Chains A and B, each alone.
Chain A
């Protein structure tokens, strides 16, 4: 089949406005759709990051002390009693005290340095505190070194700045500080005059905060053997026995209130399982992905409908000419090919302009919102989608055109 492009171009010059409008619409749609796809993909990637936690069985109790005048030793006694009570519950596997937990949002961050007098930090790490049960309670995978011993666990009073001599770090932090896999046994400094030595490395341990700022430090965490006996409150991280999460979440607050009633566990969100925690921390990521998804879908539908509308109009306008061509020997498929090619030419012009717009929009978000550069793959996908969409949309009117009878050429002249 030999398609003549020249006659199509000549014909298009008689429909400048319509041609321009379709091309413009395709260009804008491409710009929006590939940026939206990029945002969706980014957000979904965020949401699917592993936390390292045994999320099916772990829950967190946010426990605040009603009386903030308690001394550190009073708090410590209460925390010890609470932990004992939690660990004795039939549905509970293990429990640990914490000053935060993965995916909490916000949270405690420290700079990390390799030498004590270094001014520019080497990197940034999420700080977790816990006792010798921390690694097992969260279900972290220890890939090198050892867990904390109970005699290593120190007490940290209200907002004291203490650097314990030993630390367990996530693999991401170990690799960042000591590339080459020799982190075990090495020391570093973290906003204190004393060094802290890596005694263990866990595989994955996501940070507490997952917002934009934390992206460049994703997965970099350290655990210090500290019981955070803060007079304001504490997080109890609890791991239920397999398939006993609901029972454990029911029993735990009762056990704690039986220990003492001078505490506040918010009835609304004082006890949260990891499904809830994950859902909450990725709220805005999920919302953006959904919004962009809806906009993409509606946009493609509207663009397709617009092409159908305009092409139908053109077909209607040119019935006579089509009839003449048919009468002069053009086959149905020649007419079909004509309209498909015409649409392809317009779409091609549209996607060229659209690519420029898409990149410009992405650069704007990069400078304005510190988002990352979009890979050209998204533009590629967008181009293919729009070209196919154009061909698909034009198919129905083009088929109708191809069925125009040669007799039309003779009518109403």
Chain B
């Protein structure tokens, strides 16, 4: 019976080409607009580290005070004094500090011109906390942190550029005029959004090339190459002056496995701030935060408002297309009131009429889905026109999106057909037979 109704549906589609085209286009455009904007939204709002996002927390301590902080919220990063104090206390199983530094590769191997590198200064736990995959070697140890070693981990991409992809562990690299020893080469690793550095990036930057020791960066007095935010009156001219200033530039992360550990770390943070208050460094009550990955991404508004607004508008657009489809289906079905009357008179039940018209609507949905898929493919291809390049390249048409396109098109059309089909099923046979 299903196949028969399906064939009837196809035949009926051909009977009113203008009306059919209109419905298919409405569904197609509506689905495509929603899917294109959704593909971007999905990419920018996803969980970058699903298995650990609830265990990774970034602590914030208000070192600016109620008059200068961010409307009651502490700064989005830490200054040197607080960052190193948290590290020294070592209240979490794993913890790291990180900030962006500027490094460039001095010509070596396949390289004949200096090359700018996206680089981070981090501590040893960074690699295990964030599950950085390694191709060769590994990260460095906490002992290396203390020894302030000149070790670096480089990315696969940089390894390819410099050494043609060979195992370069143990080799020496001249970065910005200093020698470093390569201890590890990562596999491709660029979680997006870049949850661990939302202070300096919008979350969608290119993969980092180099990770060096935080302690080594301090020894070399490496200024942050990312964001830096200060308050009040500044007059530092030396590195020491800068470290002691209220400028924030370091992002801390801690790994806490249970709610007990989280509660305990929160207590520790509050106590730390209270201690600073007692010592006279803060003259305000403790104001601390401990956000996990998803909370942090939400707070930092990682999803661009453009993406949210365009998704909302596209969904609204789809809704209008559906309302349009309800109207057109109603017109299409009721035009055949006479035919329905005959069928009912010949013994078809309401349920059968109902099923037949829902299946017919399903065929419209299928056709709309096909058109929608085509338009989505075109739209995702040309999405660079609509969104910033670093975000646009995240949008892609993969099997789940294809399946979703069809599912949404068919389900939405069938839902839209409920009322028209109900009206069709309630056609009075006597009435129709009489008047024709």
Contact = CB atoms under 8 A, between A and B. Distances in A.
Interface in B292-329: 304-306, 308-310, 313-314, 316-317, 319-321, 323-324, 326-328
Given A17-B330, A32-B317, A66-B176, A266 B116 contact: yes
Contact of A284 (B18, B225, B304, B308): B304
B114 interface: yes
Given A66-B176, A369-B309, A290 B320 contact: no
B22 A306 contact: yes
A17 B423 contact: yes
Interface string A288-328: 10111001001100110110011011001100000000000
Contacts of A295: 33, 313-314, 317
B223 A158 contact: yes
Interface string B223-267: 101011011111111000010010000000000000000000000
Interface stretch (B78-86, B163-171, B181-189, B386-394): B386-394
A68 B102 contact: yes
Given A287-B385, A298-B29, A120 B234 contact: no
Given A161-B235, A291-B310, A264 B317 contact: no
A233 B386 contact: no
A25 interface: yes
B419 interface: yes
Interface string A253-283: 0000000011110100000000000000001
A257 to B, nearest CB: 9
A18 interface: yes
Contacts of A193: 233, 235
Nearest to A160: B237
Contacts of B178: 69
Given A28-B320, A302-B320, A310-B331, A287 B115 contact: no
A24 B330 CA distance: 15
Contacts, number: 180
Contact of B306 (A119, A232, A287): A287
B143 interface: no
B388 A287 contact: yes
B68 interface: yes
Given A160-B236, A233-B102, A263-B114, A28 B323 contact: yes
7 contacts: A158-B223, A160-B237, A191-B231, A283-B388, A295-B314, A299-B320, A306-B328
Interface of A: 17-18, 21-22, 24-25, 28-29, 31-32, 35-36, 39, 64-69, 106, 111, 116, 119-120, 157-163, 189, 191-194, 212, 232-233, 261-264, 266, 283-284, 287-288, 290-292, 295, 298-299, 302-303, 305-306, 309-310, 312-313, 316-317, 361, 365, 368-371, 412
Given A159-B242, A161-B237, 18 more contacts: A29-B320, A35-B313, A65-B104, A66-B114, A69-B220, A119-B68, A159-B228, A160-B237, A161-B245, A283-B388, A284-B388, A287-B385, A287-B386, A302-B320, A302-B321, A302-B324, A306-B323, A310-B327
